[in-house]
Structure 1
C-alpha cells in the first residue's frame, strides 16, 4: 500500500494543501513557529504571545485584524488590564508580547507566504526599553571570589561559572552542551564549541581557552567513567533554574554585595573583553548577537570605566591640589 507522505506531513505542517482562507489560526501559528522559531525558548515565548493575543481578540480571526486591534492590545497590556491586580506591565514585558506579533504579521504578509493581505503591525511601535544592564556585571575581584566559591563546591559548579564568564554563554546554551559539540580546528591548535541551542535557532562557534578545555575533558571523563565519552554525553544535565540557584547561592557565600545571575556573567564577559581590547565584532560573534547595536550597549559601561573628563582636569590642576 502506497504511503501518502504529503498527507502525513500535512497533519502537523499543512503548508500548501489548501488556500490561505481555509487555514485556522492555530495552523497559522504552527506554520509560523516552524518557519521562524527554531530555538525551544523562542518557540515557547512566541507561542505564549500569540496565544495571549488570540484570547484578547475573542474570536476575531488573525486575518481580520487591523492596526486598531493591535494598538488596543498594547493599551490592554500597558494600562494594567492584563493583570488581575490592574498593575501595568513593564515596557520590556509589553515588548515581549508585541515583538512576536510584528514578526508574525511580517512573515504572514510576505508575498511569498500570502496568508495575510497586509501587515497590520507594520506601524505598531514597540515601547522603548530602558537599558538596566549597564551595572549588571561583576568586577574582576568579584569574579575571582565567585569562581573560588564554585571551585570549592565541585568541578561541575566551577565549570558552570567559568563557561558563563569566559565564553559568554546564555544559560540555555550551557545546558545544551554535548561532548560532540567540541571540535578541533584544522591545525589542531585550538578547540571550538559549536553552540547549537542559540536564539532564533542559529549556531555559532566559540573558541575554548586551553585550560578550560583541559577541565572540560576531566569533567566529561568523570561523567562517562571512560577516557572516551559518548558523543551524546550532556555535560551539564541540569535545568537553567538550577544553574541560576547555583550562581546566586555562590554569590551569597562568597560575600559579594550583589546578587549575580548567569546573565550577569554574560554581561561581565562582554565588558571585560572590550576593556581588554577585543573588537565589537569579536564580542558580537562570541555572544551571538544578531545586531551590532546590541553589542554596542556595552561600550557605555566600558567608556565609564576609562579616563573621564574630571580625570583630565585633575591632571591639569594637580599642582594646586
Structure 2
C-alpha cells in the first residue's frame, strides 16, 4: 500500500487506537488490496461489500473477524480517504446470542491441580482469579502486581481502558514462588526470551493440555476461564455492577449475559406454579 499505509497509520495513531488495533486494521486493508490486486483508493463500496461477502461465504470467517474487517474498511475510506461511507453501505452482521461456556468450580480446581509446571499454573490462576482476557494477561508486567494494595493493574484492556482487579491471596503466594524461580523482568509471563511476552498460542496450547490431563472433555479456552470467573462470582452473590467493573465492560448489558448461566439466579427464583394452591400440581396415577 505504500503511501496509503503510512497515511492510515498516522490517522490511527492520531485517534489513539492501541497498537494491536492498528495492526489488525492495517492487516485487514492489506488483505483487501491483495484480494483485488488493485490500489484501495481505486475501489469503493461495491468492492468492499463483495469482499466482506467473500469472507463470510467462502472463507467462513467468524462474526468478530468480519466485523474487524468492516471497521477497518470504514476507517480507511471515511478517515483516510474522507469519502462518504454510511452504516448501510457496509453493515455489521447481526449478533447471534450464545450463552457463555463455563467450567464448574470443581473443574477449575481440577484444571489447576493437573498442571505440574509452575509458570503454566500461575498463568491459569491469573486468567481465572481476575477474569482477565488472554491479551490482558500476556501483557502484564511485574510492576502491575500491587501486593500492598492486593490488586492487579490491567493496562492492555479492551479499547485501551485501564482498570484494576483483585489480587487473590492464593495467586499472590503462587506469584512469589514464580518470581523466585523464573525472575521475570520486562514481562510477567515472558516467552522464549525475557524481552518478549509469551505468545497467545502457547497459552491456548497449555490450557488444552491441562484440560486433557484433568479429564475435562469440553474444549477449554482462555476466555472460558473469564466466563467462569464472572459466573462463579454471580453464583456466590456478587453484585452485577461489581462484576461489570472487574470485567471492564462498558455496558452492564454485556455483563447481564451471565445471569442466564448462573445457577444461583435459577434456584433463587421460585416458579409461579409453586405458588398455586391446587391439587393439579401433584402427579396423578
Aligned-partner SS, 2:216: coil
Contact 2:139 2:187 in 1 (8 A): no
Aligned-partner SS, 2:261: helix
Summarize the Cα distance change of 1:289–1:214 in structure 2 as closer, same or farther, 3 Å threshold. Answer: same
Q: Structure 2 stretches of 5 or more lacking a match?
A: 192-197
Contact 1:39 1:201 in 2 (8 A): yes
Match of 1:247 among 201, 207, 218: 207
Match of 2:113 among 144, 148, 157: 148
Whole-angstrom distance in 1 between the partners of 2:32 and 2:15 = 18
Deviation of 1:214 after TM superposition, in Å, equals 2.5
Contact 1:92 1:127 in 2 (8 A): no
Q: Deviations over 1:246-304 (max 9, x none)?
A: 11111111111212111110111121122223333322322223443332322322379
Match of 1:51 among 19, 30, 39: 30
Match of 2:155 among 196, 208, 213: 196
TM-score with structure 1 setting the length: 0.72
Q: Deviations over 1:119-171 (max 9, x none)?
A: 31432211123233x24110122112112212xx0332221221111111122
Match of 1:320 among 278, 282, 285: 282
TM-score with structure 2 setting the length: 0.80
Whole-angstrom distance in 1 between the partners of 2:215 and 2:20 = 33
Summarize the Cα distance change of 1:36–1:288 in structure 2 as closer, same or farther, 3 Å threshold. Answer: farther
Higher radius of gyration, 1 or 2: 1
Structure 1 residue 130 and structure 2 residue 111: aligned?
no
RMSD between superposed Cα atoms in Å: 3.1
Q: Deviations over 1:301-321 (max 9, x none)?
A: 237961398955367579724
Whole-angstrom distance in 2 between the partners of 1:57 and 1:253 = 46
Match of 2:221 among 254, 261, 270: 261
How does 1:20-31 map onto structure 2 within 5 Å?
A: 24-31=3-10
Aligned-partner SS, 1:206: strand
Q: Deviations over 1:218-254 (max 9, x none)?
A: 2112223xxxx75x35344432211111111111111
Deviation of 1:98 after TM superposition, in Å, equals 1.1
Partner of 1:99: 71
Contact 2:12 2:22 in 1 (8 A): yes
Partner of 1:206: 165
Partner of 1:292: 252
Whole-angstrom distance in 1 between the partners of 2:73 and 2:139 = 28
Whole-angstrom distance in 1 between the partners of 2:25 and 2:236 = 37
Contact 1:194 1:206 in 2 (8 A): yes
Structure 1 residue 79 and structure 2 residue 67: aligned?
no
Aligned-partner SS, 1:298: helix
Q: Deviations over 1:12-35 (max 9, x none)?
A: xxxxxxxxxxx9321222113323
Summarize the Cα distance change of 1:233–1:117 in structure 2 as closer, same or farther, 3 Å threshold. Answer: closer
Partner of 2:141: 178
Partner of 2:237: 277
Q: Deviations over 1:5-54 (max 9, x none)?
A: xxxxxxxxxxxxxxxxxx93212221133235744433332222121223
